[in-house]
Amino acid sequence: MAKFMGNNPILQVADPELIKQVLVKDCHIFTDRKSFFECGNHPIVEKVLPGLQGDDWKRVRSITTPVFTSGKMRKMYPIVRESVKGFMNTLSEYVNDKQEVNVTDMYGCLTMDVIANCAFATKTNAFKDPNNAFVVNGRNVLKLSVLKFISMLLLPQEKSETKSNDLIDLMMRAKEGKDNINDERNKYESHHINEGEEELEITNNILNIKPSNIFITEDEMIAQMFIVLLAGYETTASTLSFCSYELALNPDVQQKLYEEVMSSMDTNGEIDYEVLIKLPFLDAVIAETLRLHTPLVIIGRIAAQDYRLGNTGITVYKGRVVEIPVYAIHHSEEYYPNAEMFIPDRFLPENRHQIIPYTYLPFGSGPRNCIGMRFALMEVKLVIC
Ligand code: HEM
């Protein structure tokens, strides 16, 4: 289907095989996307990963990818768990006082606190203090007041003891070449539905850059911290809100999830990272939430050269935008029977083979997929359980 955005024609591609071609097989032609937001020539904002193009994107992505490996998630797990504990304590106080809670606001405070802890080594106590400078300025960033955010970065903040694990530290190590991008995939998670050997090889080839190109400037590093806040706050908070909403509407699902979680806790009432990410029903509940309520409803790519689209007879001309209508695909009866219903069982390991690759795209796909996927999933799973 074609549509116009102003004067610009956009081709929408919803066929799974063609999606695979655009996002994976021919990703060297469709590497760039239209910028997430218009930033003029702002020296920091123009360097955020989602907006970078060509070789600059490849270089920065190959340096930042090792920050999000499962090994790094294991390291960050205790930090995220601390934030979640603070969140649960505050929630319990509301419950004890029989007060109403605005869950969406609370989740916003939590995701902000997690990012502040992990990326900026800063404790916000956001659940109790919504006027905290980090929270106020961070929210303003999302209203696109970029300069306020930069000034916030320069303000002194209460330091967390967990500084050695923060994202800047991990990025510095990646820059020094102490990490590599190869990482084990977790076959237990629904979110790897699209990934076979072919996809992995293409991603590794694209991100395998010359050692002389492994560098990142200070502005680029600040830009990536900015985008972690921007990309990780609202998406994760909205996923948590929708998941709670669906659990409230579906008490049978809630009960089944409760039983799975309770049977997985250790004697201290804690869940180990390795156990958490492999819980099949929890994974299915989150996957179904992201299918029904996917935060990014469309993914876009720009053609770097004239391109014949499969055997459709269509030529996508250089510079034109191709869009994948993720929300429409996720809600299609053809791919998901009873598509408007919340049915986590679709994503259980025994049923997952029925999902057609490239029809489940909450985090995009291919080498330019969501770099923060593992981080988001760890956070959401930890909170929901
Ligand atoms: C539930 C939470 C999240 C969802 C649903 C989500 C979804 C997405 C999607 C759909 C894309 C575009 C992928 C594509 O074009 O193929 C994306 C890109 C991106 N996301 Fe996420 N995201 C989430 C959380 C996060 C978090 C927590 C971070 C950072 C810690 C993050 C950082 C990014 C970045 C930097 C990109 C751009 C990647 C690139 O251009 O190379 N996201 N995300």
Q: In this predicted complex, what is the ipTM?
A: 0.99
Q: Is 370 assigned to a binding site?
A: yes
Residue of 83, 115, 370, 379 with the most ligand 1 atoms within 8 Å of its CB, for mutation = 370
pLDDT of residue 180: 52
pLDDT tier for residue 153 given thresholds of 50, 70 and 90: very low
Average pLDDT value for residue range 215-223: 86
Q: What is the pLDDT of residues 356-381, one digit of tens each?
A: 999 999 999 999 999 999 999 999 99
Q: Which residue has the higher pLDDT, 177 or 287?
A: 287
Task: Using the predicted structure, report yes or no on whether residue 165 has a pLDDT greater than 90.
Answer: no
CA of 230 to the centre of ligand 1 (A): 10
Find the range with the poorest average confidence among 64-68, 114-118, 149-153, 243-247: 149-153
Q: CA 168 to CA 29: how far, in whole Å? A: 31
Taking only the tens place, the pLDDT of each residue in 173-185 is 655 555 555 566 6
Three-state secondary structure call for residue 300: strand
Q: What is the pLDDT of residue 181?
A: 52
Q: Quickly count: other Cβ atoms within 10 Å of residue 357's Cβ.
A: 17
Taking the C-alpha atoms of residue 89 and residue 327, their distance in angstroms, rounded to an integer, is 35
Least confident of 159-173, 232-246, 312-326: 159-173
Neighbours of 110 (CB within 10 A): 27
Nearest CA to ligand 1 atom 28: 372
Q: Which residues pair with 11 in a beta bridge?
A: 2, 322
The model's confidence at residue 142, banded by pLDDT at 50, 70 and 90, is: low
Distance CA 279, CA 274 (A): 9
Q: DSSP letter at 227?
A: H
Residues 65 and 181: beta-carbon distance below 8 Å: yes
Alpha carbons 385 and 383: distance in angstroms, whole number: 6
Q: Which residues pair with 299 in a beta bridge?
A: 324
| pLDDT at 2 exceeding the cut of 90 | no
Per-residue confidence (pLDDT) for residue 39, from 0 to 100: 53
Q: Give 223 or 164, the one with higher predicted confidence.
A: 223
Q: List 237's β-bridge partners, or say none.
A: none
Give the pLDDT of residue 61: 93
Ligand 1-lining residues (CB < 6 angstroms): 33, 49-50, 61, 227-228, 231-232, 235-236, 239, 295-296, 299, 362-365, 368-372, 375-376
Across 115-127, average pLDDT: 80
Contacts of 41 (CB under 8 A, 6+ apart): none
Distance 235 CA to ligand 1 centre (A): 8
Tell me if 71 sits within 8 A of 183, measured CB to CB: yes
Enumerate domains of the chain plus CATH numbers.
2-384 (1.10.630.10)
Structural contact between residues 357 and 20, judged by C-beta atoms closer than 8 angstroms:
yes
Q: State residue 128's pLDDT score.
A: 75
Instruction: Tell me the C-alpha to C-alpha distance, in Å, between residue 244 and each of 34, 137, 212, 384.
Output: 33, 27, 47, 8
Give nearest CA residue, ligand 1 atom 20: 370
339-348 pLDDT tens trace: 999 999 999 9
What ligand 1 atom has the least distance to the C-alpha of 296?
A: 10
Alpha helices, H only, 103-217: 103-120, 133-142, 146-154, 167-175, 197-207
Choosing from 115, 202, 363, 383 the residue with most ligand 1 atoms within 8 A of its CB, the one to mutate for a pocket test is 363
Closest-CA residue, ligand 1 atom 41, reads 368
Neighbours of 330 (CB within 10 A): 20
Q: State in Å: Cα 227 to ligand 1 middle.
A: 9
Residue 189: band (very low, low, confident or very high) from pLDDT cuts 50, 70, 90: confident
Question: What is the predicted pLDDT for the residue at 255?
Answer: 98
Q: What is the largest CA-CA distance in the chain?
A: 65
Of residues 134, 129, 139, 344, the one with CA closest to residue 254 = 344
Ligand 1: atom nearest CA of 366 is: 16
Cα dist. 366→195, 214, 219, 284, 371 in Å? 8, 21, 26, 22, 11
Amino acid at 71: G
Q: Give the Å distance between the CA of 254 and the centre of ligand 1.
A: 27
pLDDT for res 176: 57
Q: Tell me what pLDDT residue 160 has.
A: 46
Angle in degrees, 0-180, between the axes of helices 167-175 and 218-249, rounded to the nearest 10 = 130
Q: What is the DSSP string of 226-283?
A: HHHHHHHHHHHHHHHHHHHHHHHH-HHHHHHHHHHHHTT--TTS---HHHHHT-HHHH
The DSSP letter of residue 122 is B
Q: Are strands 321-324 and 299-302 parallel, antiparallel or unpaired?
A: antiparallel
Residue 170 pLDDT > 50: yes
372 CA to centre of ligand 1 in angstroms: 6
CA of 338 to the centre of ligand 1 (A): 27
In angstroms, the Cα distances linking 45 to 68, 120, 372 are 21, 18, 18
pLDDT value at residue 175: 55
Say which range, 44-48, 291-295, 323-327, has the weakest mean pLDDT: 44-48
pLDDT at 19 over 70: yes
The structure tokens listed for 111 are 């995701």
Question: Which residue matches tokens 């006082």?
Answer: 97
Instruction: Write down the pLDDT at residue 36.
Output: 55
| pLDDT at residue 162 in the model | 47
